[in-house]
Amino acid sequence: MRGRLTPRDPMHPVAWAREDLPGWARRHRWFLVVLGLGALLRLVTVIGYRPALWFPDSYTYVVTAMRPRPDLVRPAGYSMFLRLLEAFHSFALVVTVQHVLGLLVGVMLYVTVLRRGGPPWAAVLACVPVLLDAYQIELEHLLVSDSLFTFLLVGAVCLAMRRPLTPRSAAALGLVLAAATLTRTVGLPLVAVFALFLLAYGVRRAAGESGPGGESGSVRPGRAVARLTVPFLVAALLPVAGYAGWFYATYERVGLVGSNGVFLYARTMSFADCSVMKPPPDLAVLCDPRPPAARPASQEYIWNAQSPLVRLPGITFTKETDTLAGRFASLAIRSQPLAFVRTTLTELGRSFTPGRPVYPDAATYGYYEFPATVPPPPGRHPAVVGKEFAQRYEGGPITVRIAEPFAGLMRAYQDVAWLPGTALLVILLVPPAAWAVRAGPARRAPARRTTGAAGETGAAWTRLVPQNHASSNRAPANWGIAWATAWALLLVPAATAQFDYRYVLPAVPLACLAAALSVRGPGRRARTP
């Protein structure tokens, strides 16, 4: 009988680690360099700006965390994240956790690209924007929901790419996406995107083209689809429905927030022409007589005291006001559909500008810059009230303390280290361009025959649904779900609110993931890091 292993034995975990760690570090040295630089930059930020940086929305999040109830404008997911950390009475800890989430996003991207068979150099490059972009680091240091939302959404996409997909993993995917939706409502339409992805995967699995574990195609299409989509939809929609029930019990209104009509009204004011719309008298009070070119940014119609909507009696987000604003927006879109499409494309195009022009106004733009001086205290009444709750959360003052030279280093770094909008557009164009390059030879090659309606349908989804290891030599790794999600994150705010630099950053890691997966050379097998 063999005795206990000692550290000298090659099979002992300590001895194994000594032998394997240097080789592992050499294989992943470039990623470790990028990850280390990202961690160092975040450490400098934490030292330079204490305890955290504030955005106007931050105070509302803190109020909801300290006094749990649904908010009319924002879902409470991020507030519950704050509440989990409330016992430590430290906003510095909150942003430190957000920085760690940012680093973990980079790790998830790197591991997923390698597991799906992408080249190591592409895996490293995919991580660079999320780990080293100064605006990404600044966003993580703000008390806003975007860092948590990005982590959850990237986690959902990476989970969707793991193999094999089972009912349990589909349910886990639904729960992660539900958490993302309750953090930012833009996640709700993504439930449909992921459901479509699972539908396609189930069809292809039934067709036997690339099912997990090499199934032969004997599974019925309906059963294969239901095994994944049903647990996914149940897990994704039940938490959302529960939150909607809480919201209804609080306000007697259906929904997750009570501001959809208001925000859509503000969005349509970029083109709404009442002479074309001919609104009834109750809607005519929301008209702006100025031509669209002379009007302010959309957000001014929500927060500016001179907005026709804000001048109405009561608070802006009452049920009556939100319903009225929604009716006006619906009429504007029906009356001027081409104008709505044109202005949506204009807002979307702001994501791809070569520079970083000031938009929507200097005040909002300034919140995304590392400040050189201590920011002034909040002026709006809700934020003033929120400041009192924030001081209770912190257990002391929340005034930003700027420590030089660390803060100055980050300001100088932010001047040069950021991803231009045109670069993001190029990254988004890489996957379809790579697909087109590969599709040419594939069209000229003899097509593999598939039988049955399920086989024909499955072939149509080849580029959307992930490939398993056996088929990784024949087709690029899956990039469709990451690519579609990135575009949705850019398009939905442009169509329903307005462009904001803050809304672009969560789409960047998914665009990079899609690009890294699309450039995988033929014949490369998926690998385990």
Domains contained in the chain, number: 1
Contact residues for 225 (Cβ-Cβ < 8 A; gap 6+): 198, 199, 202, 203, 206
Residue 93 domain flag: yes
CA distance 216 to 193: 27
Residue 19 domain flag: no
List Cα–Cα distances, 169 to 396, 510, 513, in angstroms.
Answer: 43, 20, 20
pLDDT of the chain, 529 residues: tens digit per residue: 445 656 655 545 555 455 577 788 888 899 999 999 999 999 999 999 999 999 999 999 999 999 999 999 999 999 999 999 999 999 999 999 999 999 999 999 999 999 998 999 999 999 999 999 999 999 999 999 999 999 999 999 999 998 788 899 999 999 999 999 999 999 999 999 999 999 888 787 766 644 434 444 455 667 777 888 999 999 999 999 999 999 999 999 999 999 999 999 999 999 999 999 999 999 999 999 999 989 999 999 998 889 999 998 877 889 999 999 999 999 999 999 999 999 999 999 999 999 899 998 898 999 999 999 998 877 776 778 888 999 999 999 999 999 999 999 999 999 999 999 999 999 999 999 988 887 766 666 554 544 444 444 344 333 444 444 334 333 444 899 999 999 999 999 999 999 999 999 999 999 999 999 998 654 455 444 5
Residue 193 domain flag: no
Other Cβ atoms closer than 10 A to 54: 24
CA distance 355 to 284: 39
Residue 505 domain flag: yes
Residue 2 domain flag: no
Residue 64 domain flag: yes
Q: 272 burial class (0-12, 13-18, 19+ CB within 10 angstroms)?
A: buried
- The residue segments making up the domain with residue 323 are 30-161+253-441+452-529
Q: Is 401 strand, coil or helix?
A: strand
Residue 312 domain flag: yes
Q: What is the pTM of this model?
A: 0.87
pLDDT of residue 442: 60
Residue with tokens 């099912």: 211
Residue 3 domain flag: no
Residue with tokens 């733009």: 365
